Structure 1
Amino acid sequence: MIDMFKNFLLAFTCVMGINACSSTHTELQANAWQQVSAKGKLHQRHEASFVEYKGKFYSLGGRGIKPVDIFDPKSSTWQQASKPPFDIHHFQAVVYQDAIIIIGAMQGRYPKETAIKNIIYYYPEQDRWELKEEIPVDRRRGGAGVVIYQDKLYLVAGIRNGHVGGFVPWLDEFDLKTRQWKILPDAPRSRDHFQAGVVNGKIFAIGGRTTSQATKEVFSLVVNEIDQYDIHSQTWTTLSAKLAIGRAGTSTLAVNDEIWLLGGESNRPSPAHNEVDVLNVTTLKLTSFQPMVEGRHGTGAILYDNAVWTCCGAGTRGGKLELKTIEKIELK
């Protein structure tokens, strides 16, 4: 009876032209976020990444040199692997073939972190780290968005001088087969402390800020605009949709024909944002989604077994409250 009433209300709002009818297909068929209990040791971390490889979840990097934590969603258990060769933070890790790739990352302490010069590979099955090619000196930066599409890696925007300044609108392509680097057209605007997403040959730059410790504007200069890059036509477009609540340190995830933006931090000290926004890449409509149980920033999100998962990150602006909780939302 309750479900029938909900369906009636949805139909009524769509007929009346109320915004609810613009909700995405996934949104209308999702449960609520729930925290997941887990066994084993987990290292709390932020400015890190959270990715899936062959059914296991990898939490890696972040400030300080910490072992890789591996989560088995079937047994809900954590186990540890090796440490990286040095501190690696402020990056969006991506999975390609048998490796987790890190590019566009930082190392060092706030506020004068430096961009890491190499592309870094972590091989989960061998528990092995390897430094690969050097990034061209004049294109190095951290806090950038990273996606892979058809054997090519795309490095989007970022910041050259830690938190001091030097944010850029750059877009670069690295061919993972030929190992060749290519400079592509700049985005319409700079942004850093964000993650990118790709669906159907289009890259979406959403969230982030232009960090400027030099002018004492570390958290406030958030970017509300959403920029889209068409890989095939090599052109940028700024969407009419904008974020209602701008924030950086967000997690970005492609879910079917949607781009999800989770959490983040802004100029408010506490708590971190728990808001979730969903962009339908077909209609280019942006809708608010069910908020997470906890606000968090500086981590990642995973689509696995018909659910969206996230963990770790920081629960307040900056990194004083590092989280060790896991939560997920199941898609019906």
Structure 2
Amino acid sequence: MFKKGLFCVFMFFTVFCKAQTSEAIQQVWEEVSCAEGTNLIPRHEAAFVAVGDKFFLLGGRGIKPISIFDVKTSIWTEGQKPPIELHHFQPVVYENKVYVIGALTGKYPAETPVEHIYSYDPQTDHWEKVAAIPNDRQRGSTGNVVVKDKVYIFCGIKDGHRGDHKKWTDSYDFKTRKWEIYVDAPESRDHFQAAVIDQKVYLVGGRLSKAPDKTFSETISTIDVFDLQLESWEDSTLKIPTQRAGNMVFPLGKRIFVIGGESITQEKAHAEVEVLDVESHVWETYPKLIHGRHGTGIVFYNNALYLASGSGKRGGSPELQSMEKLIINKD
């Protein structure tokens, strides 16, 4: 009798777990349409962020106006161009302003680090040069996160796509305008993004760009974890299932979504969506993107993840003019 009861409980638990998993797997990405006569400006190595009820697609190769999407009307409009070319950066939002830090400027493969922090105010549609980055800490293609009044800046590359990779860890205090240096990361990387959950920062994906012969080949599997409270790096054994760079990363609850990217293994941009539970260290596979893409960002709004533009193949083309979303359970 006891064994039979135990078996029933086990079967119920198994069915429940499978139902939970299948519910997530049944979700699919959907194309997001815009109002007739409007569309986004295609770009890659750019950024995609939300402030209020509007999405902002900014930066990228060349100097292009910001593409602004109003969720309520589905209309795309144009905002101001940045004062200089800004690409290869992970933007952060602080007090309703978008900040660009750790960016590159110029043409492949000899891009140079941007010497200043720039901000964009959606309320006034105005760009501002905020502060100089210390000469000996300048680099681009960094991973950035905001915690309270500080932006933390990780790793990056100094010499365009050719080399001088950095393990650097820094922070900039928006209130005091003070720059602070921390212990180096366990390994250097570029073309990646960072995510913060519960005072821990996760550096996910990326590579060591070594143009012209090894621009895409040296992708990184290890996920490095920085403890903000201890100001030290953990001895991490976490690894990304599908190695890629130029991937998008977004934290949601106790999970980190790793989406898209590029690698030497395929010409098309990656469409994989892999999700890490930071407590159990278990990965889950979500439905693939409609269009594989890299070099853009992720927006979370009204219980859905949105991606827009980016490049559809390894390298810089084609620049996509589409947006898609995945409705998910935030919990």
Query: Does TM, scored on the shorter chain, surpass 0.5?
Result: yes
State the identity %: 41
Q: 1:55 offset after TM fit, Å?
A: 1.3
* RMSD (CA atoms): 2.1
Equivalent position of 2:81 in the other structure: 83
Residue aligning to 1:3: none
Is 1:226 matched up with 2:226? Answer: no
Amino acid at match of 1:266: S
Counterpart of 2:60?
A: 62
Alpha-carbon contact 2:119-2:127 (below 8 Å) kept: yes
Structure-1 separation of matches of 2:11 and 2:191? 39
Match of 2:190 in 1: 192
Contact 1:239–1:284 (CA under 8 A) maintained in structure 2: no
Distance 1:252 1:241, change over 3 A: same
Q: Aligned ranges for residues 137-216 of structure 1 at < 5 Å?
A: 137-213=135-211, 216=213
Deviation at 1:200, TM superposition (A): 1.1
Is the CA contact (8 Å cut-off) linking 2:99 and 2:120 kept in structure 1?
yes
Q: C-alpha displacement at 1:244, in angstroms?
A: 2.1
Are residues 231 and 70 of structure 1, via their aligned partners in 2, closer, same or farther at CA, if it must alter by over 3 Å? same
**Corresponding residue number in structure 1 for 2:273:** 276
Task: Write the distance in 2 (CA, Å) between the matches of 1:263 and 1:66.
Answer: 23
Displacement of 1:183 in angstroms is 0.4
TM-aligned CA distance change 1:67 to 1:9, over 3 Å? farther
1:33 counterpart = 2:29: yes
SS, match of residue 138 in structure 1: helix
Secondary structure of the corresponding residue to residue 323 of structure 1: coil
CA contact (8 A) 1:242 1:286 kept: no
- Per the alignment, in what secondary structure is the counterpart of residue 187 of structure 2? coil
Partners of 2:24 and 2:286 within 8 A in 1: no
Contact 2:152-2:171 within 8 A present in 1 as well: yes
Secondary structure of 1:328's counterpart equals: strand
Larger Rg: 2
Describe the superposition over 1:275-320 as per-residue Cα deviations: whole angstroms up to 9, x where unpaired. Answer: 0111112222222222111100000001110111111000000112
**What is the one-letter code of the residue matched to 1:298?**
G
Amino acid at match of 1:285: V
For the 8 Å contact 1:60–1:68, the answer to whether it is kept is: yes
Match of 1:316 in 2: 313
**CA, structure 1 residues 135+9, in 2 after alignment: closer, same or farther (shift >3 Å)?**
farther
Distance in 2 between residues matched to 1:10 and 1:164, nearest whole Å = 56
Q: CA deviation at 1:111?
A: 0.2
Aligned length: 318
**8 Å Cα contact 2:88/2:104 also seen in 1:** yes
For 2:302, the equivalent position in structure 1 comes to: 305
Q: Which amino acid aligns with 1:32?
A: V
TM-superposed CA distance for 1:30, in Å, is: 7.0
Report the Cα distance in structure 2 between the residues aligned to 1:133 and 1:298, rounded to whole angstroms.
25
SS at match of 2:236: strand
Partner Cα distance (1:114, 1:21) in 2: 50
Q: In 1, distance between residues paired with 2:73 and 2:90?
A: 26
C-alpha contact 1:103 1:118 (8 A) present in aligned 2: yes
Quote the Cα distance in structure 1 between the aligned partners of 2:185 and 2:283.
20
Q: Equivalent of 2:43, from 42, 45, 51?
A: 45
Partner of 2:255: 258
